[in-house]
């Protein structure tokens, strides 16, 4: 190899490696509308968990119950599913999450949230790559928001109530790993969320019952991590464990079916 050709060959090799890295990154990313994401198997159900909260270095404390109900509905004449979740805290606070979505492609159509103690409400709708978001803080300390955000990807709604049901619609299998664009309504932008299937596990699924599940780990950039035990049989989300970010106290919240 001559001194003249060596730099050219090194540059070519570097370009090839960079192209391969970009291709790999694209292969491990999905967004809304990807045909591999499909919730057509979802059926109406009811579910209920108890949940505990454990601060770093402390034992778990019983914090309340979380109910979950799925039912058929329609949205602007479009067949859809409606998921209603209610968190009842021991201190009397009630949080209500209502999601309406198209299960075939897991498109989020509308989301509504209410908090009992402050009167805070949130409403979100997604149309293609445009997100409409409105928040009224009530007596809480969250800022009032009302905006339309244009994003460069078709998002998959994870943070605003879909949680494990969205993850269950992914083609889960051993070693599956992918990133997807969720929407961060506080910052009005996309947040790439990483998902990794870590294996199979049989876990308690209510009194006297057990379910075989995929164990799915989720890592976010700002909001900590979570692990989900998911089944393709109703009620789908069997168990969950959330670890809040250090800036939010690092509390571990564990949900167990009852």
pLDDT tens, residue by residue, 40-94 = 999 999 999 999 999 999 999 999 999 999 999 999 999 999 999 999 999 999 9
For residue 103, pLDDT beyond 80: yes
Mean pLDDT of 179-199: 96
Is 45 inside a domain boundary? Answer: yes
Q: Tell me what pLDDT residue 14 has.
A: 47
In a domain, 7, yes or no: no
Structural domain includes residue 14: no
Tokens of residue 101, six digits? 């979505």
Q: In the chain, count H helices and then E strands.
A: 2, 14
Residue span of the structural domain in which 138 resides: 27-257
pTM flag (> 0.85) = yes
Q: How high does pLDDT run on average in the chain?
A: 91
pLDDT score at 4: 54
Could you tell me if residue 21 is inside a domain? no
CA–CA distance, 41 with 24 (Å, rounded to integer)? 30
pLDDT at 27: 56
Whether 216 is covered by a domain: the verdict is yes
The domain total for the chain is 1
Query: What pLDDT shows up at residue 20?
Result: 38
Tokens representing 123 are: 């409403």
């Amino acid at each position: 190899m001559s001194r003249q050709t060596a730099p050219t060959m090194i540059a070519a090799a570097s370009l090839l490696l960079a192209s391969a890295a970009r291709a790999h990154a694209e292969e491990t990313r999905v967004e809304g509308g990807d045909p591999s994401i499909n919730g057509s198997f979802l059926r109406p159900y009811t579910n209920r968990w108890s949940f505990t909260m454990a601060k770093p270095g402390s034992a778990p404390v019983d914090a309340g119950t979380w109910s979950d109900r799925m039912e058929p509905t329609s949205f602007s004449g479009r067949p859809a599913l409606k998921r209603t979740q209610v968190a009842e805290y021991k201190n009397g606070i009630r949080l209500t999450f209502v999601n309406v979505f198209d299960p075939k492609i897991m498109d989020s159509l509308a989301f509504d949230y209410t908090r009992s103690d402050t009167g805070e409400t949130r409403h979100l709708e997604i149309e293609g790559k445009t997100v409409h978001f409105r928040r009224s803080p009530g007596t809480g300390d969250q800022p009032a928001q009302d905006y339309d955000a244009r994003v460069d990807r078709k998002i998959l709604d994870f943070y605003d109530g879909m949680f494990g049901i969205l993850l269950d619609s992914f083609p889960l299998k051993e070693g599956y790993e992918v990133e997807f664009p969720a929407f961060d309504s506080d910052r009005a932008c996309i947040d790439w969320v990483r998902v990794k299937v870590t294996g199979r596990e049989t876990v308690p699924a209510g009194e006297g019952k057990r379910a075989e599940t995929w164990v799915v780990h989720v890592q976010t950039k700002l909001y900590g991590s979570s692990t989900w035990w998911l089944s393709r049989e109703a009620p789908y989300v069997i168990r969950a464990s959330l670890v809040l970010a250090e800036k939010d106290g690092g509390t571990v919240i564990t949900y167990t079916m009852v």
